[in-house]
Chains A and B, each alone.
Chain A
Amino acid sequence: MISQVFILSSKGDHLIYKDFRGEADKDAVSVFFEMVTALSGDQPPVVMSHKDLNFIHVRQGGLYWVASTKTNASPFTVIEFLNRLAALTKDYCGSLCEKSVRMNFALIYELLDEMVDYGYIQTTSTDILKNFIQTEAVTSKPFSLFDLSNVGLFGAETQQSKVAPSTAATRPIMSHRSEQGGKNEIFVDVVERLSVVIGSNGVLMKADVEGEIRVKCYLPTCSEMRIGLNEEFSIGRSQLRGYGTAVRVDECSFHQAVKLDEFDTYRILKVCPSQGEQTLMQYQLSDELPCAPPFRLFPTVEKDYGSRLLIFLKLRCDLPPKSTALNVSVTVPVPKGSLSLSQELSSPDQTAELQLKNKAILWSIPRFPGGAQLSALFKVEVPSLSSASLLEVGPVSMSFELPKQTCTGLQIRFLRLSPTQPGMSQRWVRYVTHSDSYTIRI
């Protein structure tokens, strides 16, 4: 039994507030926010209680999604409900951010009305809710910019149907009345997260890959979808299939809707997707990186005359020459008491700044082509420079996004819908590897 549901922005603004039972006071919201902000550290506990009111919250999209209850409800049910609410909001509004929630408050109230009745959860299924929700989503951008079937991106006809911008998948599942029918599209994401620790001698000390296959489906009706993975895909260490470079993962888990009867022989996932986003499969590979680590760092740290610290970084991108890393940022911790930074970077689109709060230099590189090598020289003014403070430099951590790359080599061979949809159904796939934590010791 849920008493209240509310959504707060990161600054504590009340975006959505819904009281189902009238049990709790209205100032519960501010009480909750005070509790959250009072706690130091990054992660406040998920379940907190104030007097006899229990708050359960999740953070998604930079927002607090909170439910409060007076009874002893199952916290996992409520957490699941909140996650589902966030997912539904995302499906219906397109993207999940403060702005979209603000703009679509009516839609979200309508959703909440249908989902919860007097504190009891009724349904969270997209397919059922679809029949009751009438409000149209307000998207922040006029979506016609990405009207892919008619106009090419830059007027070039050749490009338009090869690639779609990443924002193409962030549109509401309910189409506008004005553009009848919308488009039948399916977006498949293969996202892998890398956690890598590289020792100071360049040896891989830890390498984990966590990946998932997500599907966002805009098809109004679809009986069955078959997704073929690489035939060489193998699970566990023992079985190696095929002649090719086997795609191996340690373990994987599937969404409950996925039927696996063809998975063992043909590596086909069968699923009847409902509209909206679903994570079909998650997998992980630990202590092994099938490809070379994407970045290598060659650092030199030395004391200049006076109180200056020279940090010379050479960063090499070991991706194949055709691919590029995006939004690379390198964080170099610097000694306490660092005052100012002067830098020499190799191209003007890179930036570097000294973040005094974190005691770190943030070097960001918007595009980093594979095979390239960038270097940067940082001169940090540290008044109390001693040889001990040299040890405070490092380890360097990086964050990046590698488009069109999967570390494990997992690929979507095909995606087939049956029965075939009338009209053009467009299928899109996106492979991304991004860094969960990428640490290089100096």
Chain B
Amino acid sequence: MAHFDTEYQRLEASYSDSPPGEENLLVHVPEGSKSQWHHIENLDLFFQRVYNLHQKNGFTCMLLGEIFELVQLVFVVTFTVFLANCVDYDILFANKLVNHTDSSKVTLPDAFLPVDVCSARIHDNVFVIFILVISGVFWLHRLVKFIYNVCCYWEIRSFYINALKMSMAELPYFTWQEVQARIIEIQKEHQICIHKKELTELDIYHRILRFKNYMVAMVNKSLLPIRFRLPFLGDSVFYTRGLKYNFELIFFWGPGSLFENEWSLKSEYKRGGNRLELADRLSSRILWIGIANLLLCPVILIWQILYAFFSYTEVIKREPGILGARCWSLYGRCYLRHFNELDHELMSRLSKGYKASSKYMNCFMSPLLTVVAKNVAFFAGSILAVLIALTIYDEDVLAVEHVLSSITLLGVCITVCRSFIPDKHMVFCPEQLLKVILAHIHYMPDHWQGNAHRYETRDEFAQLFQYKAVFILEELLSPVITPFILIFCLRRKSLEIIDFFRNFTVEVVGVGDTCSFAQMDVRQHGHPAWMSAGKTEASIYQQAEDGKTELSLMHFAITNPQWQPPRESTHFISQLKEKVHREATGGQQGTAAENHAFTSTHSLQSESEPRSLIANLLAGPPSLASLHLGRDSSIINHLSIGVSEGTSALRSLSPLSTSLHLRGSFPSARLPRPDHPAVAAGRAMAGSGTDARTVSSGSSAWEGQLTSLVLSEYASTEMSIHALYMHEMHKQQSRGELSRHTWHRQESDESSESVHDDVEAIRNLPRSSTFPFATTPSQEGAGLQSSSQRRYGGTTESLCGGPRVQRTARMPMGGWSEEPHTGRHHDPVPEEGSEDELPPHIHKVT
């Protein structure tokens, strides 16, 4: 052909390209590749299963678990029916005498009704029959699913064994990162995915977490109605498994959902043209699903109660403290989750933060409650002591009516009371604890910082970290409340949801439609207040809140060091890493030089007991003292302190001890053995994160000797440092912006020219719409400003022109957290026209 230098590209076939009417044609698999793993149709499911099998530690464990689940179901139903119908409670409670009199003992079988009576009772009771039929159908459904799953997972098992060359026995010893690396490796050989020659880590994550990313993004943009303002309880979050299930049903996989199949959004939802009609359709669907929920409510409720009863009663009896224990709430898991973070990563992160979090929560003991609890515990304890003493003296006491039950009850009572009595050795240091927590959970609204001692902060944190009892209670209430949330709250948001899916779906080659936030593109979704200022081109609507994009990017890059991010992101990451590295070494060396005594004591402490909070506090004073000075001093100074404080907080982390050991055991350490042990320890501490970085980036000679498990521990430490640093930086920046903003307002109070700058300032203001209610005074001011600005901007649209127009054009979606009176069809008139002409926000990312 003509003489061009252009290369030919391979014309790839893909499932989306088959013309209408031809979808069912057989896909021709070329003979060249003989592996059975060539071209897997539904890679989403495939990767999910690969991941699940890995998380459940192999095929056998998984099989056993599922079988037991089935058995459990049968057991619960039969046992309940048996208890309800086949037990003669009169005999059990000895209200009635047993008719055979050869022995005075009542045996358990005596209390059972004869089989014929029993079955007759069951036959007569229509309700029981109904329940049995329903549960039978449900069980059969589960059974079919189980058999199907076994077949699927058998395939996955052979994939592990044949393709990945990992036997099931040693699967628990492989980290997911290793499994993933192998998958990427064999893609070259087997061509699992035919759209791309090579898979990347991000592709696999995208596929596994496609819907979860959407959920995280929706929670991040506060799109889901899970936060309510109740008349007496104040603000509260209600997000249960049932609700989550319904959300997923509506959006992702239920009949008529937004998604066509696992990997692609229905094409009409990608178009802006008939969004109102689609929103209507969605809202009517939500209505129907809500009504279905309402109808099924009794069944689900009964199931929930039974399930809770059987699974928790025994635990409560054995360990009553569990009710006072806390767990990360479902909402917290959604709020704290990074984009592209797998379950096990999230769980390990949260579990690491658990101790600090519960300590933090325990700091807030109400003194009044403590006094009451102490006394109640005293009284209950004395009665219990007497009863126990009597029992020891003569165990016939136990036979007295209600003695055993009162002993149990008193025990429960004491345990509950004890949980309200603070530890004698507890030190009230909420700010420090919050730092430690932040190092693990990575996200936190801006106004918590500096307000850690306040009860508001504690209450908000309690939404993320709730009592187990509250969790169980919410789960029990869920079947009743869910339909109402669906019908009354979610339906109102249908237009926003439609807009969300249209605007934030991108088609990625080889992955399909995915949430654009999950691309972690700082340019598209960065928040200027989170270090991506200048790099981001996102409007307010497009910015992820709480620096989620930036932190997620960092997290993903650190957990997957092999991943090669796109160019802008690489730039962002390397810049940030370099800064952190510099600050950490610089700041720490400064403090080390100043405070030999402190560091030496602390190093001793930390070597003996690396997890102790005391080590933390010991290292605290220098940084705390200078923190006060630093408040007014320059940013750099302040930052270094922030980081050093952060690293000091990190000393409580476990990998540090390993890092020390490593340093000892490898003579090839690059640092010359210093004569001053204290300095060495201090530097080892300070450098732990940076060491981890060099190790994980693979430039170190140690790499071969470190297993990837150690690497992942380092990675988490490194991520903690980065998270702390970014929060610190964000604090600096927001403070700077704030002062600039207020100054500006004073300067040009009456001049109308300030409008534009105000917009800038508002845009740069840290805003946390996920915690919008408890704004600090300054933010309230900003909020007021912005809302007035919004209205103003709407009217002056034609005057300003330029880039502003576009921003205002998107505002109806973007302004949901500011706009005080967002109606359902709140679009300004010009929006309708411009929306259709705008190119759709679907673009290919290669």
- Residue numbers of A with Cβ under 8 A of B are 157-158, 161-166, 168-170, 187-189, 191, 214, 216, 226, 228, 243-245, 262, 265-266, 268, 277, 326-327, 401, 403-404, 412-416, 420, 423-424, 426-432, 434
Contacts and interface: CB of A to CB of B under 8 A. Distances in A.
Contacts of A404: 6, 9
Contact of B1 (A277, A326, A327, A434): A277
Contact of A427 (B11, B19, B20, B842): B11
Task: Decide if the interface of chain B is mainly helix, strand, loop or mixed.
Answer: loop
Given A189-B1, A216-B1, A277-B1, A162 B20 contact: no
Contacts of B5: 166, 326-327, 401, 403
Contacts of A327: 5
A170 B8 contact: no
A243 B1 contact: no
Nearest to B2: A191
B188 interface: yes
B747 interface: no
Interface stretch (B26-34, B643-651, B724-732): B26-34
A430 B197 contact: no
Nearest to B502: A243
Interface string B1-27: 111111111110110011110000000
A269 to B, nearest CB: 11
Interface in B412-454: none
Interface string B23-51: 00000101110000000000000000000
Given A189-B1, A268-B19, A424-B32, A326 B6 contact: yes
Given A170-B1, A326-B5, A162 B197 contact: yes
A415 B176 CA distance: 38
13 contacts: A158-B198, A163-B8, A169-B1, A189-B1, A191-B2, A191-B4, A216-B1, A226-B19, A414-B17, A414-B19, A423-B30, A423-B31, A430-B8
A434 B1 CA distance: 14
Given A216-B1, A243-B840, A245-B839, A164 B7 contact: yes
Contact of B30 (A187, A277, A424): A424
Contacts of A412: 11
Given A216-B1, A424-B30, A432 B6 contact: yes
Interface of B: 1-11, 13-14, 17-20, 28, 30-32, 188, 197-198, 267, 270-273, 839-840, 842
B4 A428 contact: no
A169 B7 contact: no
8 cross-chain pairs, A with B, having the tightest CB-CB distances, nearest first: A243-B271, A403-B6, A428-B8, A414-B17, A427-B11, A164-B8, A163-B7, A420-B28
Contacts of A416: 13
A189 B6 CA distance: 10
A162 B198 CA distance: 11
A415 B272 contact: no
Contact of B10 (A243, A262, A428): A428
Nearest to B32: A424
Given A158-B188, A158-B198, A429-B8, 6 more contacts: A165-B7, A170-B1, A214-B1, A216-B1, A401-B5, A404-B6
Nearest to B189: A157
A416 B32 CA distance: 18
Nearest to B27: A420
B832 to A, nearest CB: 16
A424 B31 CA distance: 7
A196 B271 CA distance: 33
A157 B30 contact: no
A430 B9 contact: yes
Contacts of A245: 839
Nearest to B272: A243
A413 B7 contact: no
B567 to A, nearest CB: 8
A426 B3 CA distance: 21
Contact of A414 (B11, B31, B32, B198): B11
A228 B17 CA distance: 8
Nearest to A168: B8
Contact of A188 (B11, B267, B840): B11
Q: Which of B4, B30, B839 has the most CB of A within 10 A?
A: B4
Contacts of B18: 414
A157 to B, nearest CB: 7
A161 B1 contact: no
Contacts of A415: 11
Given A161-B197, A412-B11, A434 B4 contact: yes
A188 B2 CA distance: 12
Nearest to B31: A423
A412 B6 CA distance: 16
A188 B10 CA distance: 10
A430 B19 contact: no
Given A158-B198, A277-B1, A187 B8 contact: yes
